[in-house]
């Protein structure tokens, strides 16, 4: 057996806490003085190491350890489970501020961005109403209302009643409607057509004609230079 | 071995009856475990810090923290492992802060601040012991804890494995490599 291998085996067996060596190593130790000395030295080293480690670790426990702990426990009894401890305690105010801030932000954004009604759609009355009644409902607000105008357009906000939809009418449309009402006595049929429902089966207000394509005429391209 | 007497704390007498009963129950359960865990916590801290006063302080802190969280422990059999880990972690933190402070201070201030060594410390502070401690400090934390726990009297490999909640084979492997490393540095 090789001396190097034998010494490695000796170290491995000592590190593993085994006292006995293999038969090959034992035979080698009998014949090799160098390895026998190495084995004895390493065995002593490991033994000293274990002894020193045990002496260092197994120190007598000071008698004041447990009484001191009891005093501390009496002064600070265990906190109930529901109380926040550790990192949760300083985090609580931060979380509260965040929640309140987010709530205020979302409320503010709703107030400053009401659901915008497109002007052309808003100009059309939502339900078939009488022309004069519709005029009474429509507030006299500009096309792009400011804050005060919006506030004025919500008369029922404070009374907690259901708010009527805000209808925006362009000034020129309003003038045209006024002219139409002024000429109404001259055109009673038009008023009737607007205020009466259409007969059954003919309720389509607009008729859309089919797409008609005129015959195509193909001509050769003419140069602009000629 | 010192005697541990169960003394009901004075604060419990003035508490709410239900709360008092719960706290007293937790306290008595905790006291039952103190007999085994207090020396263990102290020895683990002492192995890292090598200072009696600091080790006592750390062990008390570890046990106090364990008591504060005692109700949250679902598996009581893990209490010992829990205390060992808290104690080891606290001791390591303290030891590292000592090291950092030591590096900041000048040599003369460091020498002046050291208390006179006790007879026991003189006996233990042989050159070999000092070299061993230095070598031990250089081991990785987990390996170091395995070496310390296995060196504590009466601990088998199985018990060390149970405390650290790792397989016995891992304990054996860590011990094997740690011993080889220590022997190499002491040679």
pLDDT > 90 fraction of chain B, expressed in percent and rounded? 33
B64 within a domain of the structure (yes/no): yes
Q: Record the tokens describing residue B91, joined without a space.
A: 């001791």
- When pLDDT is cut at 50, 70 and 90, the band that residue B169 belongs to is very high
For B147, which residue in chain A has the nearest alpha carbon? A53
Closest by alpha carbon to B72, among A207, A86, A56, A143? A86
| B62 and B126 belong to one structural domain | no
Same domain, B36 and B107: yes
- Cα–Cα distance for residue pair A120/B41, rounded to 1 Å: 80
Range of the domain at B78: 11-115
Domain boundary residue among B115, B140, B158?
A: B115
For residue B33 the two structure tokens come to: 């475990």
Smallest Cβ distance to B64: which of A49, A52, A73? A73
Q: How many CA atoms lie within 13 A of B104 on its CB side?
A: 6
CATH code of the domain in which B30 resides: 1.10.1740
Q: Which of A8, A38, A50, A78 to mutate to test the interface with B (most CBs of B within 10 A)?
A: A78
CB neighbours of residue B50 within 10 Å? 20
Spell out which residues of chain B touch residue A62, defining contact as CB-CB under 8 Å. Answer: 42, 52, 56
Which band of pLDDT confidence, cut at 50, 70 and 90, is reported for residue B93? very high
B5 located within any domain: no
Q: Tell me the whole-structure pTM to 2 decimals.
A: 0.54
- Number of folded domains that form chain B: 2
User: pLDDT tens digits for B119-153?
Assistant: 555 555 577 888 888 899 899 999 999 999 999 88
User: For chains A and B, what is the number of CB pairs under 8 angstroms?
Assistant: 118
**How far are the Cα atoms of A70, A71, A75, B30, B168 from residue B10, in angstroms, in the given order?**
11, 10, 9, 17, 44
Looking up residue B181, the CATH number of its domain turns out to be 1.10.10.10
Based on the domain organization, do B92 and B178 belong to the same domain?
no
Residues with Cβ within 8 Å of residue A80, at least 6 apart in sequence? B19
Answer yes or no: is B2 within a domain.
Answer: no
d(CA B128, CA A223): 108
Residues 6+ apart with CB under 8 A from B153: A54, A58
At which of B98, B115, B132 does a domain end? B115
**Does B3 reside within a domain?**
no
Calculate mean pLDDT across residues B74-87.
84
Q: Is the pLDDT of residue B173 over 70?
A: yes
- Residue B168 above 60 pLDDT? yes
Residues of B in contact with A73 (CB under 8 A): 9, 27, 64, 67
Domain C-terminal end among B96, B115, B134: B115
Kindly state the average pLDDT of the residues B154-171.
Answer: 90
Query: Who wins on pLDDT, A80 or B106?
Result: B106
pLDDT tens-digit series, residues A5-64: 888 999 999 998 887 888 888 888 889 999 999 999 899 889 888 888 888 888 888 898
* Best CA proximity match to B128, nearest among B178, B76, B187: B187
């Amino acid at each position: 057996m090789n001396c190097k291998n034998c010494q490695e085996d000796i170290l491995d067996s000592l590190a593993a806490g085994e006292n006995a060596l293999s038969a090959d190593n034992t035979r080698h130790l009998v014949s090799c003085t160098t390895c026998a000395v190495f084995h004895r030295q390493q065995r002593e080293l490991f033994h000293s190491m274990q002894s020193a480690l045990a002496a260092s670790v197994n120190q007598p426990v000071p008698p004041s350890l447990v009484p001191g702990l009891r005093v501390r426990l009496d002064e600070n009894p265990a906190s109930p489970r529901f109380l926040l401890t550790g990192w949760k305690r300083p985090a609580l105010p931060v979380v509260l501020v965040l929640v309140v801030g987010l709530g205020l932000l979302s409320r503010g954004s709703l107030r400053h961005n009401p659901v915008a009604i497109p002007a052309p759609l808003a100009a059309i009355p939502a339900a078939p109403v009488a022309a004069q009644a519709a005029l009474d409902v429509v507030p006299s607000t500009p096309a792009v209302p400011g804050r005060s105008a919006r506030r004025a357009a919500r008369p029922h906000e404070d009374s907690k009643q259901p708010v009527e939809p805000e209808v925006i009418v362009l000034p020129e449309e309003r003038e045209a409607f006024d002219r139409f009402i002024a000429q109404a006595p001259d055109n009673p049929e038009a008023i009737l057509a607007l205020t009466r429902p259409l007969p059954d089966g003919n309720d389509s207000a607009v008729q859309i004609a089919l797409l008609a394509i005129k015959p195509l005429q193909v001509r050769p391209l003419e140069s602009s230079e000629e | 071995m010192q005697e541990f007497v169960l003394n009901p704390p004075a604060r419990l007498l003035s508490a709410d009856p239900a709360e008092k009963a719960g706290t007293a129950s937790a306290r008595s359960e905790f006291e039952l475990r103190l007999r085994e865990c207090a020396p263990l916590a102290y020895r683990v801290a002492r192995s890292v810090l090598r200072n009696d006063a600091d080790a006592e302080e750390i062990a008390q802190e570890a046990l106090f923290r364990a008591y504060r969280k005692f109700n949250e422990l679902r598996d009581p059999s893990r209490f010992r492992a829990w205390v060992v880990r808290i104690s080891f972690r606290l001791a390591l933190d303290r030891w590292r802060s000592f090291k950092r402070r030591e590096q900041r201070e000048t040599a003369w201030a460091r020498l002046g601040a050291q208390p006179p060594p006790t007879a026991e410390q003189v006996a233990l502070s042989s050159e070999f012991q000092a070299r061993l401690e230095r070598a031990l400090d250089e081991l990785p934390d987990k390996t170091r804890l395995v070496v310390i726990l296995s060196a504590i009297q009466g601990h088998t490999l199985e018990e060390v494995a149970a405390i650290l909640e790792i397989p016995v084979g891992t304990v054996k492997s860590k011990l094997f490599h740690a011993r080889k490393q220590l022997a190499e540095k002491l040679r």
